[in-house]
A and B are shown apart, each in its own frame.
Chain A
Amino acid sequence: MRRPLVRFEGVSKRFGGVTAVDRLTLDIAPNEFFALLGPSGCGKTTLLRMLAGFETPDEGRILLDGEDIAATPPHQRPVNMMFQSYALFPHLSVESNIAFGLRQEKQSKDEIATRVAAMLVLLHLEGLGRRKPDQLSGGQRQRVALARSLVKRPRVLLLDEPLAALDKKLRGQTQFELAELQRKLGTSFVIVTHDQDEAMIMASRIGVMNHGKLIQIGAPADVYERPESRWVAGFIGDVNLIEGGLEKSRKIIDTAHGQFRIDNAAGAMAGERVWLALRPERLSLATKRPSARNNSIVGTVHDVAFLGDTSIYHVRLASGSRLIVSASNGGQAARFSAGDKVWASWTPDAAVVLRR
């Protein structure tokens, strides 16, 4: 990694008796789209607010460009934030809202007009400059908030649940637009979200948080394909977990459903209790027993959810537990219905071994 743009060094923050952020260390690189992902109350927003300067850490340091910013008040930090509520000034027009930050910098009138106009074009807000925020749609307000926080060309743009207030369709569209905007501008974006799809679509790196700690950091595909714990595996997407013990050879796991071959024991010792994590789309269903090279479990289809492009099958195993299998509906893919006896199979490299 290049020299980090932002560095959190053992940062803690407590509110009364509650520890919101717990000795957290994190580096954010220049030009990065970083997502802080976690359930509500995990401390991700507090972390963002500490970087903006609205909260002061109880312990640790926050460095921006290698310099401790503890002594810099929020209005002097080269960091801008887009608020979840957008926080547009209701008494100011769209133009004045966007120009607000530049006016604080005492920029010349021409400079302000040029940059505001450029922002209006960049965010497709042409012709709306004279409106008041209450005369805009939700999507337009969201873009004005984005324009207002970008016009000062911050070193880091902080986004606190920026899409939470949009409806589902608009959100999907905006996710791609935001990611494209970030590539175009090259500014570092740090986004806080509880929506794993949102983080996966937009971010170049994801930090998964829980109880004030960073649990795993990595590219979206890494975090999804190689979760480090059952909690991460379950938080990001659906997962089937099968508990078992590692055999002496460290190539086979002994479970209540039989023995399964694995590729990589992830450093687990022989005899250790581990979990096999299987993504629903890594499993395939068949009516006949598949070749012995693959692992397989037999069960009955309990429930089918048709989602158009895919179907989600709930397969009940002999032990009573269930397996979630997702199958593509394209081409001549076989379809199954409730009550069918099926074999769910997977290749040894499709499963991840988890130790915690």
Chain B
Amino acid sequence: MKRGLSTFNVVAVALGLAFLYLPITILMLYSFNASHLVTVWGGWSLQWYGELLHDQALLEAAWVSLRIGLISATAATILGTLGALALRNKRFRGRLLFSGMVYAPLVMPEVITGLSLLLLFVAVGIDRGFWTIALAHTTLTMCFVTVIVQSRLLTVDRSLEEAAVDLGCPPWKTLLTVTLPLIAPAIVAGWMLAFSLSLDDLVIASFTTGPGATTLPLRIYSEARLGVKPEINAICTIVVAVVALATVAASLAAKRTSLEDEHERDALAAQV
């Protein structure tokens, strides 16, 4: 076998990475542009980040998105987890139908979901705004949580729960002390997915929004239509930075726990 990478491999990797990250890199680079024009480089500057602090509308939109994300992700995680638990119960009649219905929204075009929610809210006579977006996002993201938690539940040995019950633990307490700790990673992952789906949703939010409730993607989209301001680049860069930091922190935390486990194991092995 040849050592190292062939030219073809290097080019393929470079092209792949460029395809994925070049647009976002350009966006981030231009957020530090001193020029007013988005496409002309005018030297380094942080002025757009300063401007951002004074852009009340954008800050407000970010705050709305954050709150909707937190509320809808939490609600979706609770409902989605309960759904996954229900789908596991073999005595639950109509299990097949119900699990089919859980998967349907995953493949449903967002435009249709958004439109149908809009029609529903109009028909019921709910004033559209903050809560209708939160509700719509809960509907959208719940299924994702169910699917993630469900796949984790499949790997949980049923006899663990039976063992807990056998040892005198009532079923509801078994759920809290045995089942939930075992599926906690999936619940956290589900929450994070729900949160990020809510944070970047434009289509459903645009159907279900009302006066006074403009989410960040809605604001960015409407401003970009009037021409891309360098401020938009700045806020996008911040979002990317936050997401990247969170990802790195999460993976570091995971690595640390596994390292601690290893140290503990070594220490124990040394004792014996």
Q: Which residues of A contact B (CB under 8 A)?
A: 52, 54, 74-76, 79-81, 83-85, 87-91, 100-101, 104-105, 127, 130-132, 135, 148-149, 152
Contacts of B166 in A (CB 8 A): 52, 74-75, 79-81, 149
| Given known A-B contacts A75-B170, A104-B169, A127-B271, A83 and B162 have beta carbons under 8 A apart | yes
User: What is the minimal beta-carbon distance from A98 to any residue of chain B, in angstroms?
Assistant: 10
Determine if B181 and A131 form an interchain contact, defined as CB atoms under 8 angstroms apart. no
Nearest CB of chain B from residue A62's CB, rounded to whole Å: 16
Partner of B169, one of A75, A80, A85: A75
Partner of B165, one of A75, A85, A105, A127: A75
Further contacts, 19 of them, CB under 8 A, given A52-B162, A75-B167, A152-B168 = A74-B165, A74-B166, A75-B169, A75-B171, A76-B168, A81-B162, A81-B166, A83-B163, A87-B160, A88-B163, A89-B160, A91-B181, A100-B167, A100-B169, A101-B168, A105-B168, A130-B268, A148-B163, A152-B167
- Closest 8 interchain pairs by CB? A101-B167, A104-B168, A87-B163, A87-B159, A83-B159, A75-B165, A81-B166, A91-B181
Q: Which residue of B lies closest to A100 (CB)?
A: B167
Q: How far is the CA of A152 from the CA of B164 in the complex (A)?
A: 13
Interface residues of B (CB under 8 A from A): 157, 159-160, 162-171, 178, 181-182, 261, 265, 268, 271-272
Chain B residue at minimal CB-CB distance from A76: B168
Give the distance in Å from the alpha carbon of A89 to the alpha carbon of B271 in the complex: 23
Q: Please name all residues of chain B whose beta carbon is closer than 8 Å to the beta carbon of A83 when the two chains form the complex.
A: 159, 162-163
A residues within 8 A CB of B167? 75, 80, 100-101, 104, 148-149, 152
Return the contact of A54 from the options B162, B181, B272 (Cβ within 8 A): B162
- What are some 25 contacts across the A-B interface (CB < 8 A)? A52-B166, A54-B162, A74-B166, A75-B165, A75-B167, A75-B168, A75-B169, A75-B171, A80-B167, A81-B162, A81-B163, A83-B159, A85-B157, A87-B160, A89-B163, A89-B178, A100-B164, A100-B167, A104-B167, A127-B272, A131-B268, A132-B261, A135-B268, A148-B167, A149-B166
List, in ascending order, chain A residues with CB within 8 A of B271's CB. 127
Residues of chain A within 8 A of B181, CB atoms compared: 91
Q: Using Cβ atoms and an 8 Å threshold, which residues of chain A touch B160?
A: 87, 89
Query: Which of B157, B163, B182 has a CB less than 8 Å from the CB of A91?
Result: B182
A90 and B268 CA atoms in complex are apart in Å by 17
Contact partner, B157, options A87, A127, A130, Cβ 8 Å: A87
Describe B's contact surface by its main secondary structure.
Answer: helix
User: In the assembly, what is the distance between CA of A52 and CA of B171, in Å?
Assistant: 15
Residue of B nearest to A106 (CB): B168
Across the interface, name the chain B residue whose C-beta is closest to A49.
B162
Closest-CB distance, B166 to chain A (whole angstroms): 5
Query: Which residues of chain A come closer than 8 Å to B261, judged between CB atoms?
Result: 132
Q: How far is the CA of A74 from the CA of B167 in the complex (A)?
A: 9
In the complex, A238→B28 CA distance in Å? 79
Q: Is the CB of A90 within 8 A of B272?
A: no
Contacts of A88 in B (CB 8 A): 163
Question: Which one of B157, B165, B265, B271 has the greatest number of beta carbons of chain A within 10 Å?
Answer: B165
Shortest beta-carbon distance from B179 to chain A in Å: 11
- What's the Cα separation between A90 and B156 when bound, in Å? 11
Residues of A contacting B178 with CB < 8 Å? 89
CB distance from B9 to the nearest CB of A (A): 38
Q: Is the CB of B159 within 8 A of A85?
A: yes
Contacts of A135 in B (CB 8 A): 265, 268
Most B CB contacts (10 A, CB to CB) among A87, A100, A131, A132 go to A87
**Nearest neighbor of B265 in chain A, beta-carbon distance:** A135
Q: With a CB–CB cut-off of 8 A, which chain A residues contact B164?
A: 89, 100
Contacts known (A105-B168, A127-B271); A90 close to B163, Cβ less than 8 A: no
Are the CB atoms of A90 and B182 closer together than 8 Å? yes
- In the complex, what distance in Å separates the CA atom of A128 from the CA atom of B160? 21
- Judge whether A87 and B169 touch: CB under 8 Å: no
Interface centre among B162, B166, B271, by most A CB within 10 Å? B166
Cα distance A132–B162 when bound, in Å?
20
